[in-house]
C-alpha cells in the first residue's frame, strides 16, 4: 500500500483535511484499532449483516469488512470521510494491481461498491491526475 504520506498528499489535493485523511488511514489499515468503528460494529453491525443475509445479497456479504467501514463513515462521519475512504481504497488498489490502469481500478471499484456521489468525485479526480498518481503509487 502507498505510505500514508501519499494518501495525505492526494487527500490534500482534493481539499480533504489531514484530520479526516489520517482518521481514514487508520480505519482502512487498522480497523480494529478504531474505537468508534468497533463500537459501531458492536451496536449496528449485526443488524446490517442480518439485512444483507435476508436480502440474499451474497455479493455484498463477501465484502463485509469494507462495506461496514463505508456505512460507518456515511452514518457517523459524513461525505468528506466517505470521499477520503474511497480515495484511500483506490490508491491502495492502484498500488496492489500494477497491471491495471487507474481507469480499470475505478471500474472495478464501482463494480465492488454501490455507486455514490463520493465515488463519482474520486473517479473524476483520479482520471484527471492518473499519471501523477501512478508515479506516486507504483
Residues 100-112: tens digit of each pLDDT: 999 999 999 998 8
Q: Measure the CA–CA gap between 115 and 121, rounded to whole angstroms.
A: 11
Helix, strand, coil in percent for the chain, rounding step 5: 80, 0, 20
pLDDT at 62 over 60: no
Residue from 16, 13, 27 nearest 89 by CA: 27
Q: What is the model's pLDDT at position 61? A: 58
Q: What is the model's pLDDT at position 59? A: 63
Total structural domains within the chain: 1
Domain extent at residue 96:
4-137
Q: What is the model's pLDDT at position 47? A: 80
The residue-averaged pLDDT of 6-35 equals 96
Q: Measure the CA–CA gap between 36 and 136, rounded to whole angstroms.
A: 31
Task: Identify the burial level of 50 via C-beta atoms within 10 angstroms of its C-beta, where 0-12 means exposed, 13-18 middle and 19 or more buried.
Answer: exposed
Residue from 58, 101, 77, 69 nearest 20 by CA: 77
Of all residues in the chain, the percent with pLDDT exceeding 70 is 92
Q: Measure the CA–CA gap between 34 and 40, rounded to whole angstroms.
A: 10
Amino acid at each position: 500500500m502507498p505510505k500514508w504520506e501519499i494518501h495525505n498528499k492526494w487527500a490534500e489535493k482534493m481539499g480533504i483535511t489531514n484530520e479526516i485523511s489520517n482518521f481514514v488511514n487508520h480505519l482502512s489499515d487498522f480497523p480494529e484499532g478504531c474505537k468508534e468503528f468497533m463500537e459501531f460494529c458492536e451496536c449496528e453491525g449485526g443488524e446490517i449483516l442480518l439485512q444483507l443475509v435476508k436480502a440474499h445479497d451474497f455479493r455484498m456479504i463477501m465484502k463485509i469488512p469494507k462495506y461496514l467501514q463505508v456505512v460507518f463513515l456515511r452514518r457517523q462521519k459524513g461525505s468528506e470521510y466517505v470521499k477520503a475512504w474511497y480515495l484511500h481504497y483506490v490508491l491502495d488498489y492502484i498500488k496492489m494491481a500494477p497491471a491495471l490502469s487507474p481507469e480499470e481500478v475505478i471500474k472495478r471499484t464501482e463494480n465492488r461498491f454501490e455507486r455514490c456521489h463520493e465515488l463519482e468525485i474520486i473517479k473524476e479526480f483520479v482520471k484527471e491526475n492518473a499519471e501523477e498518481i501512478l508515479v506516486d503509487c507504483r
